[in-house]
Amino acid sequence: MIIALALTVALAVLASLPYWLPRSVVALRVWLFARVNGTEGIAIPGDLVDDSRFLEVYSHPAASGRSRGAALSDLFWYWLSPGPEVHQEHLEPGPRYDEVARCTRRILTMPSAVADQLATESLRVALPSRTGLVRLRDLVMPVWAEFYHRVAFGRPATDEVRGLIVDNADDVVTALKCCGLRHMDRRLRLTDHLERVLDDVPHDLPAVLDRRERALYLQGTFFNTAIVQSSEATAHVLMVLAADNALQRAAADEKLLDHIFEETLRRYPLFGVAHRVATADIVLSRDSTIPAGSVLCFNYADFHHSGGHIPFGVAANRPCPAWHLAPVTVKAVTRELLARFAFATSAAHTRPIPNRGPCLMTPRDAPARRRALTLGYLRLRDRWEDVWRSLVQLVLGTYMVWDARRLRLCERYFEASSP
């Protein structure tokens, strides 16, 4: 009798795991990260700066420090290695940053029609041929590898080089989401390749950087950030459409697709938090000042939730250089995919999208066989994966936070470069 009761309770606990364990583990992870990282950050919006002053503080000239002086930077430098010290996102303001930012803008500037065509061609060349159960982020990553290879080198990538780019970008985003550890060997294979073929780049690269640094600059901006962000944006848009068949059919209308793209980035902003270091006091009122040296953590999700919408950052403070190119190209790839395939999903869709967008993808004109059964299986698989993944994220995330604190990549870099 007692054994039967214990068994029933154990079974009930086991069956209910997907409903409470992932959430509890995420809460524990957030708590642990806050402990390890310290409480140096000022959350905005928050107690000191509310939604109504979010943009004003983000755009403040003193909200300009990028890496130096923030313990958080050690973690970002760890995730974005190799070459975080020349990654545009992490360069301190100054002539070096200005030249790098100018170069990125020059490379990304092209007419919308050219960008659209380049994206469409990249899809034709690089889309994996599989259908059935797919993960959207993995599905489109080779397409973006092809696209940004063409943008940076002015020519198609070989299968091997595309593989190097995907391995690099996938490793970065997997580590960033704490779903896997970083593998520097995979990343450095791409750096070595880029350094070897650097002379083939048809653009003038920043003269302030040496040869290795130029390879690292290309890697960070075009073969990491560009690929990861474009893949995640495409995965989010397709997840929204896969969950709503009527919307998916209607999205053939360009105007509606524009709206869906905007609304998707409002609900699922790609940046969780962007941080800055105050380089001078920021006076808020007569008796409230943010002291120089404070780390300002701008929370996109909270700001969007309160009605604001800045998918590509703020114009006055290092906005995304792809704010024009990314929407055109993500919509072109989405449009082409929708013309050829139907998407359906029963998986969870969250902002960090750690499940990489599981979907059922079938040729548009194929009859939908065993659709309900497959979607039932997908829902179950997604729920149970969530249980396992949340534990993996807790363990690996804690290890990486610890390892990044140990290596102190950012802190040591600035110590070494101080007079």
Asked if 270 touches ligand HEM (CB under 6 A), the answer is yes
Asked if 299 touches ligand HEM (CB under 6 A), the answer is no
User: Nearest approach, Cβ of 398 to ligand HEM (angstroms)?
Assistant: 25
Asked if 55 touches ligand HEM (CB under 6 A), the answer is no
- Dihedral of CA 304/144/140/335: which sign? positive
Residue 37 or 234: the one with the smaller Cβ distance to ligand HEM is 234
Residue 152 or 378: the one with the smaller Cβ distance to ligand HEM is 152
Q: Find, among 13, 15, 18, the residue nearest to 383 by Cα.
A: 18
Asked if 219 touches ligand HEM (CB under 6 A), the answer is no
Residue 322 or 359: the one with the smaller Cβ distance to ligand HEM is 322
- Applying CB under 6 A, among 221, 264, 345, 346 the residue interacting with ligand HEM is 221
Q: Which two tokens stand for residue 93?
A: 């303001």
Residue 332 or 396: the one with the smaller Cβ distance to ligand HEM is 332
Asked if 174 touches ligand HEM (CB under 6 A), the answer is no
Residue 78 or 222: the one with the smaller Cβ distance to ligand HEM is 222
Asked if 274 touches ligand HEM (CB under 6 A), the answer is yes
User: Nearest approach, Cβ of 339 to ligand HEM (angstroms)?
Assistant: 21
Residue 268 or 343: the one with the smaller Cβ distance to ligand HEM is 268
Asked if 226 touches ligand HEM (CB under 6 A), the answer is yes
Asked if 225 touches ligand HEM (CB under 6 A), the answer is yes
The interface region with ligand HEM, picked from 110-118, 225-233, 331-339, 381-389 by CB under 6 A, is 225-233
User: Nearest approach, Cβ of 230 to ligand HEM (angstroms)?
Assistant: 5
Residue 164 or 226: the one with the smaller Cβ distance to ligand HEM is 226
Asked if 265 touches ligand HEM (CB under 6 A), the answer is yes
User: Nearest approach, Cβ of 317 to ligand HEM (angstroms)?
Assistant: 6
Q: Find, among 403, 335, 391, the residue nearest to 21 by Cα.
A: 391
- Give CA–CA dist 378/226, Å, rounded: 29
Residue 10 or 258: the one with the smaller Cβ distance to ligand HEM is 258
Residue 108 or 338: the one with the smaller Cβ distance to ligand HEM is 108
Please state whether beta strands 295-299 and 41-44 pair in parallel, antiparallel, or not at all (unpaired): parallel
User: Nearest approach, Cβ of 54 to ligand HEM (angstroms)?
Assistant: 12
- Amino acid of residue 101: A
69-128: which residues touch ligand HEM (CB under 6 A)?
88-89, 101, 104, 108
Asked if 62 touches ligand HEM (CB under 6 A), the answer is no
User: Nearest approach, Cβ of 346 to ligand HEM (angstroms)?
Assistant: 25
Asked if 230 touches ligand HEM (CB under 6 A), the answer is yes
Q: Find, among 281, 266, 352, the residue nearest to 311 by Cα.
A: 266
H, E, C per residue of the chain = CHHHHHHHHHHHHHHHHHHHHHHHHHHHHHHHHHHHHCCCEEEECCCCCCHHHHHHHHCCCCCCECCCCCHHHHHHHHHHCCCHHHCHHHCCCCHHHHHHHHHHHHHHCCCHHHHHHHHHHHHHHHCCCCCEEEEHHHHHHHHHHHHHHHHHHCCCCCHHHHHHHHHHHHHHHHHHCCCCCCCHHHHHHHHHHHHHCHHHCCCCCCCCCCHHHHHHHHHHHHHHHHHHHHHHHHHHHHHHHHCCHHHHHHCCCHHHHHHHHHHHHHHCCCCCEEEEECCCCEEEECCEEECCCCEEEEEHHHHHHCCCCCCCCECCECCCCCCCHHHHHHHHHHHHHHHHEEEECCCCCCCCCCCCCEEEEEECCCCCCCHHHHHHHHHHHHHHHHHHHHHHHHHHHHHHHHHHHHHCHHHHHHHHHCC
Residue 40 or 99: the one with the smaller Cβ distance to ligand HEM is 99
312-331: which residues touch ligand HEM (CB under 6 A)?
312-313, 318-322, 326, 330
- Applying CB under 6 A, among 229, 299, 346, 390 the residue interacting with ligand HEM is 229
Residue 221 or 346: the one with the smaller Cβ distance to ligand HEM is 221
Q: C-alpha 157: how far from its chain's center?
A: 23
Asked if 311 touches ligand HEM (CB under 6 A), the answer is yes
User: Nearest approach, Cβ of 80 to ligand HEM (angstroms)?
Assistant: 11
- Give CA–CA dist 112/259, Å, rounded: 18
Name the residues that contact ligand HEM, by CB under 6 A.
Answer: 88-89, 101, 104, 108, 221-222, 225-226, 229-230, 233, 265, 270-271, 274, 311-313, 318-322, 326, 330
